[in-house]
Structure formats: structure tokens, C-alpha cells
Amino acid sequence: MIPAIRVRALVKTYRARPPVEAVRGLDLEVAVGECFGLLGPNGAGKTTTLEIIEGLLDATSGEVEVLGLTWADGEAAIRQRIGISLQETRLSDKLTVRETVALFRSFYPSGLTPDEAIARVGLEEKAKSYVEKLSGGQKQRLAVATALVGEPDLLFLDEPTTGLDPQSRRQLWDVIRAQKDRGRTVVVTTHYMDEAERLCDRVAVVDYGKVIALGSPAELIARVGGEHVIDLDYDPATAARLTSDQLVALPTVTSSREEGARVTLTAGEPHRALPALLDAARATGAKIAGLTTRTATLEDVFVTLTGRHLRSDS
């Protein structure tokens, strides 16, 4: 079966002094009907990669096939079958929601009616409102409606939920799930790890212009060693600490990372690791201010792989 997207050895270097290597040999394959997530910190090359796949940017080198076609040969055919929601597009303030969707519908030879597209993103009540009267979340849903109105086989959403309130985020998740239920392919970039875990069948973690991990969220979490995470906060007033050798020697603990007064352990079996950890702390005289266990997230995957957080503010 032809994949929805196939990318081989993609390189994008922006001319500057020194040249900026935004994408450095990236490979991807997205199957028809899956929801695929591109994760990574700001500046990792997610948007550049996406815009090359969308045919909005030229690659420096590498191969890109979308729905089995290349942009050079099949631009018109690809355009009719994909829908795109870009980051930070400002639609015209003085058009109504329905007028905006109808305008975009007129570009496609076939597709939904404007009212159907508006209903899919739940904006029926705002159909006659000017764009300028919409909230941030409503504007974002309108942007998705303009991407859906051509009934695309392949939908691209670049950071669709950044800066949105929880309710708007959940509404957009429903739109994406509905699209997947119709057997359509969705490619989404996001900062939010919980979003990727909930929505995506597979994710690619991108850092410095390369894919550093690829698989289903569960696979990736399992791959970093253990589905459980123990966060331990020392009392900053005392100096006694456990060494990292001591920590990784604890039963089922696979990795340890120290950040300030916090130690984060990944563990296969918390019920065995925790008593041993407490015993070791008591023996060393280390005072514990806080102790939590949780299931591992994609954020932990990223931190384990790169030593950095996905978002500098988190």
C-alpha cells in the first residue's frame, strides 16, 4: 500500500552566515489512516519539515512523496487532496465564518458544504459572526474548518492547540479523531505531550533536524526503560544526597537524573524500587521533602533522550 507520506534523507539549509541547518537528513513514513505526531522543542525543524511536505517550501535535498506523488509532478493533484492549517494565519476580520469557509470551499473541485465544515468544528452558532468577534479557540477551529472543507485525504495541523483553553483543545481533539474514524490521515505537530499520547497512533520525536525516536507513544515510553517515574525532592536545607551509582543500583531502576534538589528515576516496578529507595535514604541521612510516583510520559522520553525539556518554560 502506498504510504500517505514518504520522506527520505530530507535536508533543508537556510542561506545565512553561518548557514542554518534546519533539517539534517530526516526520514519519515506515514501510513494511510493513521494520526501521526511530530514532536520536538521550538526550532527542532518540525515546521520546516511540515512545510516541505506541504509543498510550501523547497527542500535543499532529499525525496518527498505525498499520496504517492511528488510535488514536481503532481502539485495540482496533491493540493486538491490535502488540507492545511498553518501556524499563525490571520483570516480576514471582516468576513463572517460562513463566508470564510465558503471562500476556501470555492478553491476545491469537490468537498463538504460550508455548513457541514462549520458543523464538524462545532461553530454553527457563530456562522454569521465576523471573524474578529471570535475567541482564540474559535478562530483556531475556523482555521481547521478551512482545512477540512475540501474533504482532504490528508490533513496537516501545525500546532493546532497551542495557547488554547482546555475546552477548545478537547473540541479540536474530537475533530481529529472524527477525521481518523473516516479513514483519513492526520499529521499534527505539537508541544503538548499529553495531546500526542492521546491522539497519535505513532509519533516522531524531532531534535536538531533529525528524528531521534519513532514509534507509538507506548513503545517509546517502554523503550526508555520502565513505564513508571519516581520524582524525589530532597529537603534543600540538608546536604546529604544519594549518589547516582546508589540510585541506579536500586531494584528495577533503569535511569536516574538529577536536577537541583529533584531526582527523577525511571523504574519497572515501583513497589520494589520505593522501599529500597527509602532504606537507602535513611542510611545516608538524606531528608526527603517530597516523593511522587507517576506513569512515564513522552516528556520523560524526550528528557531521557536529550537531557533537555521539550519546552524551556516547563
Partner 1 sequence: MSALGHLTLARFREFVREPAALFWVYGFPLILATTLAMAFSEKPVPASTVDVQLDPANPGATEALRAKLADAPGLKVEVHDEATCRKRLRTSKADAVVVPTPGRGAGHEYLFDETRSESVLGRNAADRALLRAAHPADPVPEQRAVTEPGARYIDFLIPGLLGMNLLGGGLFGVGFAVADLRVRKLLKRFQATPMRRSDFLLSIMLSRLVFTFVDVALLLTVAHFAFDIRVRGNPLAFAALVAAGGATFAGLGLLIGSRARTLETAAGLLNAMMLPMYVLSGVFFAASKFPDGMQWFVQALPLTALNDGLRAVMNDGAGWDALPRPLLVLGLWGTLSFAVALRIFRWR
Residues that bind partner 1 in the complex, under the rule CB under 8 A? 54-56, 76, 79-80, 84, 86, 88-92, 94-95, 99, 102-104, 106-109, 130, 146, 150
Residue closer to partner 1, measured from CB, 18 or 109: 109
* Minimum gap (Å) between residue 266 Cβ and partner 1: 41
Residue closer to partner 1, measured from CB, 88 or 313: 88
Going along 240-308, which residue ranges are E strands?
Answer: 253-259, 262-267, 288-295
173: left (phi over 0), alpha (psi -120 to 50) or beta: alpha
Give the chain's radius of gyration (CA, Å). 23
* Minimum gap (Å) between residue 85 Cβ and partner 1: 9
Spatial neighbors of 258 by CB under 8 A, at least 6 apart, are 244, 264
* Minimum gap (Å) between residue 100 Cβ and partner 1: 8
Residue closer to partner 1, measured from CB, 85 or 266: 85
What residues are paired with 185 via a beta bridge? 154
Q: How many CB atoms lie within 10 A of CB 218?
A: 11
* Minimum gap (Å) between residue 25 Cβ and partner 1: 25
* Minimum gap (Å) between residue 279 Cβ and partner 1: 58
* Minimum gap (Å) between residue 37 Cβ and partner 1: 20
Residue closer to partner 1, measured from CB, 74 or 251: 74
Residue closer to partner 1, measured from CB, 101 or 193: 101
The DSSP string of 48-72 is HHHHHHTTSS--SEEEEEETTB-HH
Phi–psi pair at 201, nearest 5 degrees? -70, -40
**How long, in residues, is the chain?**
314
Cα 220 to Cα 242: distance, rounded to the nearest angstrom: 28
Element (H, E) at 10: strand 5-14
Cα 22 to Cα 102: distance, rounded to the nearest angstrom: 36
Cα 264 to Cα 228: distance, rounded to the nearest angstrom: 10
Judge whether 7 and 53 are in contact, CB under 8 Å: yes
Residue closer to partner 1, measured from CB, 23 or 149: 149
Residue closer to partner 1, measured from CB, 110 or 312: 110
Cα 127 to Cα 99: distance, rounded to the nearest angstrom: 8
* Minimum gap (Å) between residue 233 Cβ and partner 1: 44
Residue closer to partner 1, measured from CB, 80 or 306: 80
* Minimum gap (Å) between residue 101 Cβ and partner 1: 11
